[in-house]
Amino acid sequence: MVFSSLFFVLLFLPVNLLCYAFAKTIQTKNRVMLIFSLIFYAWGEPVYVLLLIAVSFVNWALALGIGKSEDSSRRKWLLVAASAVSLFSIGVFKYAGFFLSQVKALTGFPAVVPSIALPIGISFYTFQILSYVVDVYRREVPYQPQFSKFLLYVSMFHQCVAGPIVRYQDVAAEITERKVSLPELGRGITRFTVGLGKKALLANTCSLIADTLLLSADTMAQPGAAAAMASRPAFSLWLGLLAFMLFIYLDFSAYSDMAIGMGLMIGFHYKENFNYPYLSRSVSEFWRRWHMSLGSFFRDYVYIPLGGSRKGTGRTVFNLLVVWGLTGLWHGASWNFVLWGLYFFVFIALEKLTLGKRLSRHPALSRVYLLAVVYFGWILFHFTDLGLMGLLLKGMLGLNGNGFIDFEGRTTLLNYLFFLIAALVSVTPLVKRMGAVLRRAGQTSVLAGGIYNVVNVGAPPVLLILSVLALAGNSYNPFLYFQF
């Protein structure tokens, strides 16, 4: 089940909110959310919901021992055991097949590499569990004595399958006690409908353009993929990659918007996960604005414990190498993701050494630099086949004998020009700033105040109606980050 489905929007979520509203006590409200969260997860993973519960229980029990113990040696061994359980789980289900396929390529063994289905959201909920156990070990959060409350934290359907990665310390108090005010309920509904509109109206359209002009994941696996890529005109490839660049931001940030909005509807306050990353002026800044919950996880639980930037230039570069190798691998068990992570490592290391100071003196040039680095970086993310990646790069330069533009590329641009402009505006804070200006003007102008109120009240239902119509009329509704 995905948030951008008619079943979820028109049935699952309304029924959930209705049951939640009728629950009188916080204990009953938590039970409602836990039941709905397990149903949500089991809807797509009827077997792997047991894995989620089992891994959660073992880690909860071990963290309980860590929290209660005063023996430093015992606490360390319990931390190691808890970490091993989580890492073994994600290792088996996400990376075992990849590792065995590499061993087979080198040695010929094993004869058959088992195909293991990837549990939805395992990367997200595993990191949440790890952060909780480590924070209990560090005495930064109190241990949770009730397993049901811990399981609610891990499995909450708002963010369990695709983030943001929520720290226990950010929601611990709200699991025990929370209230919902009408203004916050309104903010939550608005945030959810904005995310739904961003996904259904813009992200899906950008994905369709990218799959038409580049190659979809299914097409890449077919025998004629290389010939199809080599025949693409250069303009179509540049436009297709731009559409993919817009899609991946709109798709993932839309999911975070919807998760944050649903949290507000019931009194949870999840941290922001995106802050207009394409407006950054360096790769380092980009990663402080993109998928912020993942970046802060690697910073606090890998980079800083390794020594951060406190032990000299060489050690800093090594620590960055480890973090970005892991960041790439976290996104998928494939060499292209590892290369994608290392690609960003190179630029971040250069910025740490010398490039960052030079960029800071040229604000306009630094923005162009950032967009170029990220634009070409998405090639590594999109193509699992390195051969197809090479054909794409040659084609973008016209070296495949493929020409510059054809009827399909020109027609696609004209047909979707409005959506592309809207998508480009959506990756900036322009609309938000216009709203803020209108709100301030409304304090002194009756007309401006009236316009602001009409837009503020009318936008959510209009977005909801348009999104539902788009979803009803289109079965094309991918969500990229479900694979992680």
Residue numbers annotated as active site: 331
Distance of CA 124 to the CA centre of its chain: 9
Q: Which of 1, 463, 375 is nearest to 196 (CA)?
A: 463
- CA gap 103, 98 in Å, rounded: 9
- Which pair of tokens denotes residue 291? 């998928």
Per the CB < 8 A criterion, the answer to whether 153 and 178 are in contact is no
Helix, strand and coil content of the chain, in percent to the nearest 5, comes to 75, 0, 25
Backbone angles phi, psi at 214, to 5 degrees: -100, -130
Cβ proximity of 405 and 236 under 8 Å: yes
d(CA 385, CA 220): 8
The phi and psi torsions of 282 (rounded to 5 degrees) equal: -160, 165
Based on C-alpha coordinates, what's the Rg of the chain? 24
3-state helix/strand/coil string of 117-156: CCCCCHHHHHHHHHHHHHHHHCCCCCCCCCHHHHHHHHHC
Say whether the peptide bond before residue 110 is cis (omega within 30 degrees of 0). Answer: yes
Which two tokens mark 25? Answer: 């006590």
Spatial distance between the Cα atoms of 2 and 482, rounded to a whole number of angstroms: 9
Q: Which of 422, 412, 450, 428 is nearest to 202 (CA)?
A: 422
Q: Which DSSP state fits 271? A: P
251 within 8 A of 481, measured Cβ to Cβ: yes
Q: DSSP code of 458?
A: H
Burial, 243: exposed, middle or buried (Cβ in 10 Å; 0-12, 13-18, 19+)? buried
Residue among 52, 30, 44 at smallest CA distance from 154: 52
Task: Tell me the C-alpha to C-alpha distance, in Å, between residue 285 and each of 63, 229, 279, 305.
Answer: 34, 33, 9, 21
